[in-house]
Amino acid sequence: MDYITIKTASEKWNLSERRISMLCRAGRIIGAKKVGKLWMIPDDAPKPLDARTKEYISQMKLMYSYIVKPSIPRYTEEGACMNAVRAFENIYKRSPQNTAFTPYRICPLGAHSDHNLGKITGFAIDKGIHIAYSPKQNGVIEIQSLQFPKRAQWHVNSTPEVKQNDWADHLRGATIALNKRYPLRVGLCAVIDGELPIGGLSSSAAVILTFLSALCALNGIKLTEQELIQTALEAENKYVGVSCGKLDQSCEVYCKKNHLLYMDMKDDSYKLIPQNPNMKQWKIAIFFSGIERSLTSSKFNMRVDELRSAAYALKAFAGMEYGKFNETNMRDVPREVYDQYKDRLPENWRRRAEHWYTEFERVVKGVEAWRKGDIEEFGRLVFESGRSSIYNWETGSPELIRLYEIMTQTDGIYGGRFSGAGFKGCCMALINPDFKESILEKVKREYLRAFPNLEGKYSAHICHSADGVKLG
């Protein structure tokens, strides 16, 4: 990439050198970087909008007309694709070149185990993230989410190397991860809208996969399913700093409607097990607590470290060979080693390990129940998984724990648990659709009786299983 000086940019944009210097310091010029005492600006960087001009004010009004202030919950129940398209047309005065969609996911069994190479199950659901987009040949990424008030900008070849602590960090990380594999030239202008409230349905993985689908399409890149999953995972692990495994991305890529994804994270092998024709009817219910959560600000990483510490210690107690801490996984430690030495572990480490081993067993049993068409037994195991998450993995805000308790006492719910990290967000349940109305009424009544301050923030949604993301 060629760079120009402030003086050259001043002549090119008809702005004073002082003004450009100020814009560089404020981060308003895409790709500008300081070398010694000099600011260097990419020669294809777009002229920044001047906040004093009518053009800037007009564009901001258009953008903010589609955005609700962060203090007010904002989500779309239906029609997020058209929302994104209409917002794009209003902002850019033209139709987007294309749209893309990635579904959210739920994980009935296999929670808190993928990062230590356990086994998982999953469904994609018919709600997710939509993007409306067009190319920017100068390599600039310009993207707006209708859930957040700030538009984000960067260049495909000069993405900030450290996170900026805003909603677009996941996409900056994805840009860097993709650019390492395939050189990027074309950027994009885009608008994103998401269905359902944020929290517990892997919205971060979904927005990364949706963004990568668009960026790959515009740059003529065809990723394999495995490459797409790994690139998205790298964005979360290395850039955002979340110690998650591949569960979210795998569900959102591999899943198939009316099939259970059964995946072994040790070798990435998976099966799509069709629904037994004799299985009772079921649907997916999502109960959103009204409390949003940020995965990186939660205790998620601490729980993963505690589990890994238990694995490391068990290897040492048993005289097993061990190497680097961050390469140690509970899957490496046989169950009999845990049973022999578990009493020597600190209590919190023992609980994390107890959850991991029992969840591994629940997945195997759950898959067998699914194959047989026994949705009641499958659901019972999901409830059991929820209890283990509370008492052994020790996740769950008071709100989510109460939602879980209400679900266990509600007729027509086969099984349910926290969805996602489990500190805030939502619960998922597999329900008998004949009981839908009574379930929705009872859960809402009992939950708001416990937390009346969440009236207007709590919500419930009925969903169906769906296919994973479509690769171009």
Reduced 3-state DSSP string for the chain: CCEECHHHHHHHHCCCHHHHHHHHHCCCCCCCEEECCEEEEECCCCCCCCCCCHHHHHHHHHHHCCCCCCCCCCCECCCHHHHHHHHHHHHHCCCCCEEEEEEEEECCCCCCCHHHCCEEEEEEEEEEEEEEEEEECCCEEEEEECCCCCCEEEECCCCCCCCCCCCCHHHHHHHHHHHHHCCCCCEEEEEEEEECCCCCCCHHHHHHHHHHHHHHHHCCCCCCHHHHHHHHHHHHHHHHCCCCCCHHHHHHHHCCCCEEEEEECCCCEEEEEECCCCCCCCEEEEEECCCCCCHHHCCHHHHHHHHHHHHHHHHHHHCCCCCCHHHCCHHHCCHHHHHHHHHHCCHHHHHHHHHHHHHHHHHHHHHHHHHHCCHHHHHHHHHHHHHHHHHCCCCCCHHHHHHHHHHHCCCCEEEEEEECCCCCCEEEEEECHHHHHHHHHHHHHHHHHHCHHHCCCCEEEEECEECCCCCC
248 is catalytic: yes
pLDDT for position 308: 96
Q: Across all residues in the chain, what is the average pLDDT?
A: 89
The mean per-residue pLDDT over the stretch 10-39 comes to 80
Report residue 68's pLDDT band, with 50, 70 and 90 as the boundaries: very low
The mean per-residue pLDDT over the stretch 302-310 comes to 94
Q: Which of 114, 169, 193, 248 is catalytic?
A: 248
pLDDT above 90 for 24 = no
pLDDT for position 72: 39
pLDDT for position 4: 87
pLDDT for position 245: 82
Percent of the chain's residues with pLDDT above 70: 90
pLDDT above 80 for 53 = no
Higher pLDDT, 66 or 400: 400
The mean per-residue pLDDT over the stretch 161-181 comes to 95
